[in-house]
Chains A and B, each alone.
Chain A
């Protein structure tokens, strides 16, 4: 069974940094691209960032480009999101997502999410 467990969220002041982690199990982690998707309280879904299986290709939403960095450690079956220069607009539930096999942009499996609150 696929399991994705996010961690690292919390309350952080504007301008500070936070690093999210996603521990994956139940599938061949290094066979898949992986993604971060966020959802502000009471609002819709926003794709944040994605990374290919070997870290050779990464992508970011315009709203986080230059501030967030996605990475992965296949030896540890883990996905990360380094978030710098955080602002109130980054307040959201952050989901780690595994795509459908051979369909990089189809978000098949989701973790429960980790909440990030940016406030002074």
Chain B
């Protein structure tokens, strides 16, 4: 099971919107509405930001939103803030014997 493909880095200025893509196959992203997104600050534990493609857990800012089209899921951060600078990972259920797979990770830089 190969990792889902994410851009290595995405950057934006404060207040702007950025979008991170997460590309898989019909065996994972395209086959399920079970895509999640995680934020990880340096030396910190990952934090769940989005689940089931577009649902936000309680306490997560509504500046974070998720969507999916075909085999590609996306995380959009609106009104970019300095505190959003972190690594972001997507994950998905898969039809393979390895039940879940993460993305390669994207480093978000706030300019």
- Is A110 an interface position by the 8 A CB rule? yes
Q: How many residues of B contact A (CB 8 A)?
A: 27
Given A59-B98, A100-B57, A44 and B51 contact (CB-CB distance below 8 Å): no
B45 within 8 A of A: yes
Contacts of A108 in B (CB 8 A): 48, 57
B99: nearest chain-A partner, CB-CB:
A59
Q: Please report the number of residue pairs spanning A and B whose Cβ atoms sit closer than 8 angstroms.
A: 71
Q: What is the interface size of chain A, counting residues whose CB is below 8 A from a CB of the partner?
A: 23
Whether B46 sits at the interface, judged by CB under 8 Å, is: yes
Contact mask for chain B residues 76-110; partner A; CB cutoff 8 A; 1 contact, 0 none = 00000000000101011100111111111100000
**Contact residues in B for A105 (Cβ distance below 8 Å):** 34, 36, 91-93, 99-100
**Complex Cα distance A46/B101, Å?**
7
A44 touching B105, Cβ below 8 Å: yes
Contact present for A61 and B1 (CB under 8 Å) = yes
Nearest to A111 among chain B residues (CB) is B45
Per DSSP, chain A at the interface is strand
> Does B64 make an interface contact (CB < 8 A)?
no
B104 touches A62 (CB 8 A): no
Q: Known contacts A106-B48, A107-B48, A113-B45; is A45 also within 8 Å of B97 by CB?
A: no
Given A44-B3, A45-B105, A113-B45; A62-B98 close (CB under 8 Å): yes
Q: How distant is the Cα of A56 from the Cα of B52 in the complex, in angstroms?
A: 24
B1 adjacent to A107 (CB under 8 Å): no
**Minimum CB–CB distance for B28 against chain A, Å:** 11
* Residue on B nearest A59 in the bound complex, by CB: B99
21 contacts between A and B (CB under 8 A): A44-B102, A44-B104, A45-B38, A45-B89, A46-B3, A47-B91, A47-B99, A50-B100, A59-B97, A59-B99, A60-B97, A100-B48, A100-B57, A103-B52, A105-B100, A106-B36, A106-B48, A107-B48, A108-B48, A110-B45, A113-B45
| A residues at B contact (CB < 8 Å) | 35, 37, 44-47, 50, 59-62, 65, 95, 100, 103, 105-108, 110-113
Q: Which 4 A-B pairs have the closest CB atoms?
A: A59-B99, A44-B105, A47-B100, A106-B51
